[in-house]
């Protein structure tokens, strides 16, 4: 059924012609902070600049440094004109025709705009090549209303630099909470599009949170909030550019608080003072201002009133995102299409959930994957690896997963092991299993190609099946990684997935490993391009090269022009780690029949559906300790909650104080692993002095006691698109003081962690949003009005506070989760001033596939009110059988109880402290049955 005439007329009424201006003096009167660069590919002299019809005003600083461009677009610069706006099943479509000369090669004369009103809070717009799909012509009675005659109220918010008399689309529908998407395509021919499955929406949302405006000539699009009129997207500020290898679109921003656009070493919020963010996956030890291992072209903006919106560009080509202080943002990408989703929120948690509705909710990790992991490059034999585990046990440190780096492999080749130094490798892994431990080894992306035929099955079989990325001559491209000459599997090829499964299966039959560590999968290459170099063509040397480290697309990786099953590596490069993770996830599930556990260095949008991430080769220093917090928080926003940094640092020597503080913070990474480089100081917890060991042991025990809570958070991420580690602004968006806080983190909405991040400090300053916060130890209470508070933090202490209104399920820690899962549980109940609190517990067998989807789990709701705590069994299963609730600690009990009852029976040995207002109730109640604990 086609769209109603009222909806069509409403949008058509927005198609307003705009008088184009020439580059006269008035058109050049733009504030320096609002100027958009007219020379993206090179610096232009005045004559070249004005030949493009642009303005040239020299500035005070150097031309090549950050700052306002000297050559910039005038107001009303013409590029494309919108024509033939037509109603479609999902929204609207228009042809955009180029009406001015292009200054970059291979311009696309006609592109197609599609507007899809996918949900009430999600809009998608695309600009792409290709013929238009089925459309309904607009009948004569639905023709556009002449400018000035549209029966719609004007937008109240003053649009920055929008001079046209736009009318506002105001659909007569109730307000809704969902996201929308936009796409610009080249109408003449097919073009590469990211092969990422996204929701296919039929029809259009009947009501939206957004209004739309379309500028006809020059083309531009404005998206605003129906309520309040805040402009979220305004592409009229600069011209659309669409050529074969350069696509550019700009927008104003409603505030300078913009977060996202990973992966980079950055604070939580980005710098809008003429900064550039480059996306092109790169093997690069984390450093500021360079492209790193992953690409996530998604950003979230906090608006002045605490509302939030998000924008996602589904494009995998090399790109720059430029930020300027007006504030505004420019996307520049080197191929594909412009395929945007806009998420209306209106709060930041809703924005993240709406984004994950598109890219996929995170996978559910096995319970053991949340325990402590230990690794090092330099465990050079099974004897040494076994000794490490023995030392951890002797020093009474919990350990769930032992890892090996490349030391285990024969000549550093995947799916092999050294028959001398790791001669009893399979037996070692089975021995770990008998102790309740798990085992993971590294797998690099490159497959050794240097052995004689018949000597190395992964390469021989890969050649036979044609699974490797090909060079310009059609032969496997050969680069160089750790084993020497290597070929690179093409994980976009279905045949490669079967080959990969066979290799994983064959190796697992020898060595029963439990998970995979995917490294070097940007893909990394020690020679530039290939051993034979790269062709001299427009894919290797495009008209515009983003700010990639090394200055060339092939730097540190393979040739951009190499060919894969779906397209050129030029288009698919940043998807390499994601496609390998998908193949590995599938292979592990088929081989083990249990929940896969995969940690990958290279990532792209949607990665969290299949794997986690560690933040790469971080340095052993205090600065990297700090940066690990915004990195973990950002990956949670990207839908990759299983993330952590190498505890104590990877590169260089750590020191005792740094390692203690890093272990304390690392206990609150969703993924907790200690890993360091060969040739550096040992940094296993048992390597330090007794006081340092005691502090680390306390941190590990604290984590293990909180694992039921953490596991429940992962369930909510997997089932409902929530975050696990959470920035404060996600929970307190109307408190602007929380927006830039990135030296603290939340677990869920109820546990606030304030770590020490500087050397020599025994106090730490943290921000506490308005409300009541109890120390997890129960020895202090903070009644905050929204303020910074100085906390004591001796070396053996990390400050952890529970937010009033939350109930946390805890469990007695043990040497591994295999043991702790059967231990007694406890509840910590943090009452609000009116005596209320709430919490929940998700519990299953910890490793079976899709327990939630199959209903094979237990879920318990905990409630506190009216001087009582009760449990409600929402779903039952046998998995909690035998586990007892052994203690309940209630924080914020204002009057000394005279009597405490557990399921109606008197509890005589409860304790209460008037100074801290803490009630402790020892009990012995089955967790699998409902209970009530009351006091009076």
Q: Which residues are catalytic?
A: 519, 522
Q: How far is CA 464 from CA 51, 222, 454, 461, in A?
A: 56, 53, 11, 5
Cross-strand partners of 224: 211, 231
Q: How far apart are CA 154 and CA 139, in angstroms?
A: 26
Q: How far apart are CA 890 and CA 905, in angstroms?
A: 18
For CA atoms 792, 814, 744, 863, the dihedral sign is negative
Which residue's structure tokens are 């319970």? 367
Q: How far apart are CA 838 and CA 122, in angstroms?
A: 31
Tally the C-alpha atoms within 13 A of residue 24's C-alpha that lie toward its C-beta: 4
Q: How far is CA 583 from CA 493, 499, 504, in A?
A: 10, 10, 10
For CA atoms 683, 711, 293, 573, the dihedral sign is positive
Which residues are within 8 A (CB) of 254 and not within 5 positions of it... i.e. 6 or more apart?
Answer: 230, 231, 232, 301, 303, 304
Tokens of 875: 């779903």
What's the chain's Rg over C-alpha atoms?
Answer: 29
Q: How far apart are CA 149 and CA 12, in angstroms?
A: 12
DSSP state of 368: G
Peptide bond into 218 cis (omega under 30): yes
Residue 929 CB neighbours (<10 A): 12
Q: How far apart are CA 240 and CA 855, in angstroms?
A: 50
Q: How far apart are CA 101 and CA 86, in angstroms?
A: 26
Residue 913 CB neighbours (<10 A): 13
Q: How far apart are CA 541 and CA 560, in angstroms?
A: 9
* Ramachandran quadrant class, 715 (left: phi over 0; alpha: psi -120 to 50; beta: rest): alpha
Residue count of the chain: 936
Q: How far apart are CA 385 and CA 424, in angstroms?
A: 11
Q: How far apart are CA 641 and CA 621, in angstroms?
A: 24
- Residue 420's nearest CA partner among 458, 382, 376, 379 is 382
701-736 residues labelled b (16+ CB within 10 A) or e (exposed)? bbbbbbbbbbbbbbbbbbeebbbbbbbbbbbbbebb
48-70 residues labelled b (16+ CB within 10 A) or e (exposed)? bbeebbbbbbeeeeeeeeebbbb
Q: How far apart are CA 148 and CA 918, in angstroms?
A: 67
Peptide bond into 875 cis (omega under 30): no
Q: Which strands form 806-811's sheet, in the order they lie side by side?
A: 905-906, 900-902, 932-935, 868-875, 858-864, 837-843, 806-811, 825-830, 884-891, 918-926, 911-913
Cross-strand partners of 745: 753
Q: How far apart are CA 518 and CA 580, in angstroms?
A: 8
Q: How far apart are CA 643 and CA 611, in angstroms?
A: 9
Which residue's structure tokens are 């927006």? 739
Longest Cα–Cα distance of the chain, Å, equals 91
Q: How far apart are CA 647 and CA 883, in angstroms?
A: 32
Q: How far apart are the first and last CA of the chain?
A: 63
């Amino acid at each position: 059924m086609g769209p109603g005439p009222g909806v069509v007329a409403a949008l058509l009424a927005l198609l307003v012609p705009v008088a184009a201006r020439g580059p006269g003096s008035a058109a050049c009167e733009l504030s320096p902070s609002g100027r958009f660069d007219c020379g993206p590919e090179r610096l232009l002299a005045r004559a070249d600049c004005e030949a493009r019809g642009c303005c040239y005003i020299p500035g005070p600083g150097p031309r090549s440094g950050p700052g306002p461009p000297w050559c910039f677009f005038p107001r009303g610069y013409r590029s494309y004109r919108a024509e033939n706006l037509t109603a479609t099943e999902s929204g609207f479509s228009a042809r955009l025709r180029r009406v001015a000369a292009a200054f970059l090669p291979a311009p696309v004369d006609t592109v197609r705009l599609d507007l899809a009103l996918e949900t009430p809070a999600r809009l998608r717009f695309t600009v792409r090549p290709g013929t238009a799909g089925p459309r309904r012509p607009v009948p004569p009675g639905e023709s556009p209303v002449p400018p000035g005659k549209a029966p719609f109220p004007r937008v109240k918010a003053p649009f920055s630099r929008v001079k046209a008399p736009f009318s506002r689309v105001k659909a007569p529908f109730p307000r809704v909470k969902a996201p929308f998407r936009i796409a610009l395509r080249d109408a003449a021919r097919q073009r590469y599009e990211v092969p990422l499955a996204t929701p296919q929406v039929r029809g259009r949302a009947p009501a939206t949170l957004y209004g739309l405006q379309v500028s006809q000539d020059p083309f531009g699009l404005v998206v605003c909030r129906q309520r309040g009129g805040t402009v979220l997207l305004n592409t009229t500020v600069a011209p659309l550019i669409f050529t074969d290898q350069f696509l550019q679109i700009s927008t104003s921003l409603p505030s300078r608080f913009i977060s996202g656009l990973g992966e980079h070493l950055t604070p939580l919020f980005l710098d809008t003072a003429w900064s550039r963010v480059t996306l092109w996956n790169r093997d690069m030890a984390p450093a500021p201002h360079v492209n790193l291992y992953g690409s996530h072209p998604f950003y979230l903006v906090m608006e002045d009133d605490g509302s939030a919106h998000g924008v996602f560009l589904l494009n995998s080509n090399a790109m720059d995102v430029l930020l300027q202080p007006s504030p505004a943002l420019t996307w520049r990408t080197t191929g594909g299409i412009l395929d945007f989703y806009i998420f209306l929120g209106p709060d930041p948690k809703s924005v993240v959930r709406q984004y994950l509705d598109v890219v996929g909710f995170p996978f559910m990790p096995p319970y053991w994957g949340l325990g402590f992991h230990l690794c090092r490059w330099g465990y050079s034999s099974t004897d040494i690896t076994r000794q490490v585990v023995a030392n951890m046990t002797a020093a009474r440190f919990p350990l769930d997963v032992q890892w090996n780096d490349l030391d285990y492999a024969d000549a550093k080749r995947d799916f092999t092991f050294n028959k001398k130094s790791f001669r009893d490798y399979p037996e070692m892994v089975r021995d770990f299993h008998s102790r309740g431990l798990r085992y993971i080894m590294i797998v690099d992306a490159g497959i050794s190609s240097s052995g004689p035929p018949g000597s190395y099955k992964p390469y021989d079989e890969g050649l036979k099946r044609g699974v490797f990325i090909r060079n310009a001559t059609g032969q496997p491209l050969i680069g160089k990684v750790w084993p020497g000459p290597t070929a690179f599997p093409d994980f976009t090829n279905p045949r490669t997935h079967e080959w990969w499964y066979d290799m994983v299966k064959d190796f697992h039959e020898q060595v029963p490993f439990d998970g995979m560590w995917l490294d070097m999968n940007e893909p990394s290459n020690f020679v530039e391009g290939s051993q034979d170099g790269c062709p001299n063509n427009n894919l290797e040397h495009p008209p515009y090269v983003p700010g990639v480290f090394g200055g060339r697309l092939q730097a540190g990786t393979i040739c951009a022009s190499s060919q894969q099953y779906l397209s050129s590596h030029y288009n698919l490069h940043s998807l390499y780690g994601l496609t390998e993770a998908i193949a590995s996830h599938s292979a592990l599930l088929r081989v083990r029949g249990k929940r896969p556990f995969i940690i990958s260095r290279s990532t792209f949008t949607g990665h969290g559906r299949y794997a986690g991430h560690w933040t790469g080769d971080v340095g052993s220093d205090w600065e990297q300790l700090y940066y690990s917090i915004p990195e973990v928080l950002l990956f949670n926003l990207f839908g990759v909650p299983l993330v952590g940094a190498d505890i104590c640092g990877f590169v260089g020597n750590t020191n005792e104080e740094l390692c203690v503080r890093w272990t304390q913070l690392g206990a609150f990474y969703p993924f907790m692993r200690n890993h360091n480089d060969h040739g550096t100081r040992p940094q296993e917890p048992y390597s330090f002095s007794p006081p340092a060991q005691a502090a680390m042991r306390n941190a590990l025990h604290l984590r293990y006691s909180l694992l039921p809570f953490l596991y429940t958070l992962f369930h909510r991420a997997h089932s409902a698109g929530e975050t696990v580690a959470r920035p404060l602004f996600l929970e307190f968006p109307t408190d602007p003081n929380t927006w830039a806080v990135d030296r603290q983190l939340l677990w869920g909405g109820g546990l606030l962690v304030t770590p020490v991040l500087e050397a020599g400090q025994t106090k730490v300053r943290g921000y506490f949003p308005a409300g009541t916060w109890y120390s997890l130890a129960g020895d202090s209470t903070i009644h905050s009005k929204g303020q910074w508070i100085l906390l004591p933090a001796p070396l053996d202490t990390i400050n952890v506070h529970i937010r009033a209104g939350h109930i946390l399920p805890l469990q007695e820690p043990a040497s591994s989760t295999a043991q702790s899962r059967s231990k007694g549980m406890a509840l910590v109940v943090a009452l609000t001033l009116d005596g209320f609190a709430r919490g929940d517990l998700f519990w299953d067998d910890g490793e079976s596939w899709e327990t939630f989807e199959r209903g094979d789990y237990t879920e318990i709701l905990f409630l506190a009110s009216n001087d009582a705590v009760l449990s409600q069994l929402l779903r039952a299963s046998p998995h909690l059988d035998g586990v007892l609730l052994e203690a309940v600690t209630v924080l914020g009990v204002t009057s000394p109880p005279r009597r405490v009852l557990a399921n109606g029976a008197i509890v005589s040995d409860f304790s209460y402290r008037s100074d801290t207002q803490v009630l402790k109730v020892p009990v012995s109640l089955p967790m699998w049955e409902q209970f009530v604990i009351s006091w009076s």
